Structure 1
Amino acid sequence: MRFALKFLVVGVMLAGASMVYAQKGETVKIAMIEGLSGPFGNVGQNQLKSWQFISDQLSGAKNVAGVKFEIVGIDSKNSPQEALNGLKSAIDQGIRYVAQGNGSAVALALADAIAKHNERNPGKEVVFLNYAAVDPALTNEKCSFAHFRLDADTSEKMEALTSFMKDQPKVKKVYLLNQNYSHGQQVAKYFKEGLARKRPDAKIVGEDLHPFGQVKDFAPYVAKIKASGADTLVTGNWGQDMTLLVKAITEAGLKIPIYAYYAGVSGTPTALAAAGDIEVYQIAYNHSNYTGELGTLMREFKKKYNDDFYTFSIYNGIVLLSEAMKKAKSTDPMKVASAMEGLTFKGFNGESQMRKSDHQMQQGLFISKWQKVDAKNSYSVENTGYTFAPVKYLDSYIASTPTSCQMKRP
């Protein structure tokens, strides 16, 4: 009887272990549907390498859930229709996790299509990891159970940025220049609201929305900025649209502070370095001079690709997925989605949480400033001899904004 009892105890322990590690050894494929060619292809290619690099670093024995991640790149050319074709291809291949970020119009199309697919195909559901598309609608009126945003949304970033700008006495006359799609429109909208609340003495002296990815020469826009008498420029531009804007500013000799969302994205730092003495502040969840694990990863990425790892939300995405799979004891997308809701984990900025009510990541944000490298801030962005040095850290509660999401759960 004693032997039988011992056998039963061992059996229960083994069964418990198998439940805890039910997903151990599995390979989880993630389809990264992104613009890998075209005017913003350099950004997409950098992020594809970033997903692959971080997945390799946090797979297998180094993964808390014991799984291995495999990233499958699918080129959307930054087109919603091409992205939907890519989604169909991923689903046909049996891929149950999708990642995308560059372009809120694409993200909105994917989120809607995934929600409809999941409703029509029980047992074959897909989860969407949005690592960079920041239109607040995605976690408000258009929120959905399968969509999880890893980046801070436009309203959160602007809440943090205007909290910093209100204490900058030089900011008196602001010009807004943004891409004419949902993200650029939201940058302008939330800046106006934030400025009115926090700096009613400052005013907007000009505003433009330009075609997305189509402007080859920003000189006419820069001429309007100069003519307005603006002492500050605020822009949410990214990729080619930010790089060409900086080049036009440099050629025109315009020397006013720029407050930007994406000054550190591929190509733009090189243009900033060519500008010489230019004052640029960036609002983001990161900066260029991390120490510890993230600093090591940045330098290993640079060594491997001679490129910069700057989309840190990818790191949080893999950590969040892994912790959720461990908690769910499964890689099933719906079980993992339920486990991600409200999950608190150690992200690159310390404690982070995937808010349950709307699936919006809650995390601290940084204001960083473009400057020459020094002993304290030594990471050379794009090998320019310049870096984004942290100026101020804003806790998650400062940047956090409310949600109107009415989440429908399975």
Structure 2
Amino acid sequence: MRILAFAAVLFTAATSYAQAQVPVRIAFIDPLSGPAAAVTENALNHLRVMGERLSGKDARYEITGFDNKLNAQEAIIQAQKAIDAGIRIFIAGNSSAAAGALNEFVAKHNERNPQQAVLFLNISAIDPALTNDKCSPAHFRFDAHADMKMLALVKFIATQPQIKRVYLINQDYSFGQAVRAAALAMLKQHRPDIEVVGDELHPLAKINDFSPYVAKIKASNADSVITGNWGNDLALLLKSAADANLQTGWYTYYASGIGSPTAVRQTGLAHRVFAVIEGHSNMQMSDGLDADYRARYGGSFNVPRARLLMDMLHDAVVKAKSAEPKALAAALSGASRATMYGGTATMRASDHQVLQDLYVTSFGPLEGSMKFDEEKTGWGWKTAGVVKAAETALPTSCRMAAF
């Protein structure tokens, strides 16, 4: 009888465990082919690692990739495929044009199908409009937007009196145009003495040789370049700069992205290429995630917001005891949690824009307390400046509707 009673207890416990474990199915809708694939496959690996770490008694995560081919219309097609497969949570972010189309699709879908609503978790599309005039109750952004990042860069540039002549080069779509506009406005406000000696927009992911652009930068006698370029567009730009021995400083959004550190190393510009990011491997971290990720994939855990997104989503699942999008949205709005670097991130309820510390970092040979290099270059990141979360909290024009 004791054996039967004990078996019954075990059965009851196992049944309770199964009932408590919420299945969380996620569609990752980003370019998984073409020139941006390396960047987005890297992000997908980050998300899957976090899904594995967080799966347990409370939830079980399943993340499926859907290739939008870096095309806004294809993003909508893939979103519909995900919905048809029963998936109600989307993660996307490369690029802002595709994310903008997806945001509109989600809003229309939820209006027409309130009982089958979907949630859009934005990991890297940083067009400011997405949490301003185009904000949505189903959209949450886990990356600082373009204006917030530019503010961090320009505040750092303002402390560098040697910078006198700046060249702007950006991708010609919504995000690149936002970077350009923010740079022009904020330089005028914080360093009106700086002369903007070039202002270039180029097609997104279509340039194989940036040497003509680099020649223009060189001819302008710029001492610094500001760019929001990402993926191949940044790596190839830096490669051309190295080939031309262009000796400018670089102030970037994405020099920490996969492939770019190798290109930075080729320039030979030790600690003269800067990136604004949420953190890096050579900062004190709360656990061994970066080391574990390096052992598994050979590269660093260089998309910290992937952890933040998954951690905050998991908190919401546990709080709601559900993966239902409206319940998750209610739990995410206004939520806070510790970052892997010891700070606090908050999902601002008024526009669903995350607020977290931003770091301006430089890339160069390992020295002092720097332990980790990037992409086997022998160079790594170190912190040059920090902008606290409260300082990044720019005003929003969002008028958040009810979900």
TM range (shorter): over 0.9
Separation (CA, whole Å) in 2 of partners of 1:87 and 1:240: 25
Residue 324 of structure 1: aligned partner: 316
For the residues of structure 2 that align with 1:273 and 1:104, how far apart are their CA atoms? 28
TM-score by length of 2: 0.93
- Number of the residue aligned with 1:214: 206
- 1:64-75 aligned at under 5 Å gives the runs 66-75=58-67
Task: Please state how far the C-alpha of 1:298 moved relative to its aligned partner.
Answer: 1.2
Contact 2:224 2:249 in 1 (8 A): yes
Instruction: Tell me which stretches of 4 or more aligned residues in structure 1 moved more than 4 Å.
Output: none
Q: Which amino acid aligns with 2:122?
A: N
The 3 A distance-change label for structure 1 pair 23 and 233 is farther
- Residue of structure 2 in register with 1:172 after alignment: 164
Confirm or deny that 1:287 pairs with 2:280. Answer: yes
- What is the CA deviation profile of residues 45-94 of structure 1, one whole-angstrom value per residue up to 9, with x for unaligned ones? 11111111111112214xxxx10111101111111111111101110111
Is contact 1:46-1:307 (8 Å) kept?
Answer: no
Deviations 1:5-59 (A, max 9, x none): xxxxxxxxx9xxx8xx997212201100111110111111111111111111122
Q: Which amino acid aligns with 1:83?
A: A
Matched, 1:31 2:27: yes
Is 1:201 the counterpart of 2:193? The answer is: yes
Determine which of 38, 44, 60 is the counterpart of 2:40.
44
Aligned partners of 1:288, 1:336: CA distance in 2, in Å? 31
User: Relative to 1, partners in 2 of residues 1:33 and 1:339: Cα closer, same or farther, differing over 3 Å?
Assistant: same
Query: CA shift at 1:232, angstroms?
Result: 0.6
SS in structure 2 at match of 1:152 = coil
Letter of the structure 1 residue corresponding to residue 51 of structure 2:
S
Partner amino acid, structure 1, of 2:163: V
Residue 347 of structure 1: how far off its partner (Å): 2.2
Q: Residues 70 and 98 of structure 2 are in contact (CA less than 8 Å); yes or no, is this contact kept in structure 1?
A: yes
- The equivalent residue for 1:84 is 76
Distance 2:132 2:20 in 1: 35
* 1:309 shift after superposition: 1.9
Displacement of 1:374 in angstroms is 2.4
Aligned-pair identity (%): 42
Q: CA RMSD in A?
A: 1.5
Amino acid at match of 2:365: K
Aligned partners of 1:274 and 1:240: how far apart in 2? 15
- Aligned with residue 254 of structure 1, among 229, 238, 246: 246
**CA distance, structure 2, for counterparts of residue 198 and residue 166 of structure 1:** 6
- Is the 2:357–2:388 contact (alpha carbons within 8 Å) kept by the matching residues of 1? yes
The alignment partner of 2:197 has SS state of: strand
What's the counterpart of residue 227 of structure 1? 219
Greater shift, 142-151 or 327-336, is seen at 327-336
In the TM superposition, residue 99 of structure 1 has moved relative to its aligned partner by: 0.2
TM-score normalised by L of structure 1: 0.92
Shift of 1:330: 2.1
Q: Which blocks of at least 5 consecutive residues in structure 2 are unaligned?
A: 1-11
Alpha-carbon contact 2:22-2:322 (below 8 Å) kept: no
Partner of 1:372: 365
Aligned partner letter, 2:38? N
Task: Give the corresponding residue for 1:109.
Answer: 101
Q: 2:23, 2:323 within 8 Å by CA — same for their partners in 1?
A: no
User: Letter of the aligned partner of 1:171 in structure 2?
Assistant: I
Verify the 8 A CA contact 1:23 1:330 in the aligned structure 2: no
- Give, in whole Å, the separation in 1 of the partners of 2:105 and 2:36: 23
Q: 2-side partners of 1:143 and 1:23: how far apart?
A: 35
1:307 equivalent among 277, 296, 299: 299
Deviation readout 1:339-396 (Å, 9 max, x if unpaired): 1111111222421110000000011100101111124111110111111111122101
The AA in structure 1 aligned to 2:395 is P
C-alpha distance in structure 2 between counterparts of 1:355 and 1:270, whole Å: 36
Q: Deviations over 1:289-325 (max 9, x none)?
A: 133335x111111111112321111111111111112
**Are the counterparts in 1 of residues 122 and 142 from structure 2 also a CA contact under 8 Å?**
yes
Asked if 1:60 is matched to 2:56, the reply is: yes
Q: Structure 2 matches for 1:121-136, cutoff 5 A?
A: 121-136=113-128
Structure 1: gaps spanning 5 or more residues: 1-13
Aligned to 2:236: 244
3-state DSSP of counterpart to 1:201: coil
Deviation digits for residues 143-196 of structure 1 (CA, Å, limit 9, x no counterpart): 000000000000111111111111101111000000001111111100111111
1:342 matched to 2:338: no
Within 2, Cα distance between the matches of 1:353 and 1:378? 30
Q: Alpha-carbon deviation of 1:238?
A: 0.4
Contact 2:281 2:301 in 1 (8 A): no
Which letter maps to 1:290? M
Measured in 2, the distance between the counterparts of 1:101 and 1:53 equals: 18
Compared CA separation, residues 22 and 353, structure 1 to 2 (3 A): farther
Residue of structure 2 in register with 1:356 after alignment: 349
Name the counterpart of 2:139: 147
- Read off the aligned partner of 1:397 and give its amino acid letter: A
- 1:118 aligned partner: 110
Question: Size of the alignment, in residue pairs?
Answer: 387
Query: Quick one: which of 370, 380, 387 aligns to 1:387?
Result: 380
The residue that corresponds to 2:8 in the other structure is none
Deviation at 1:123, TM superposition (A): 1.6
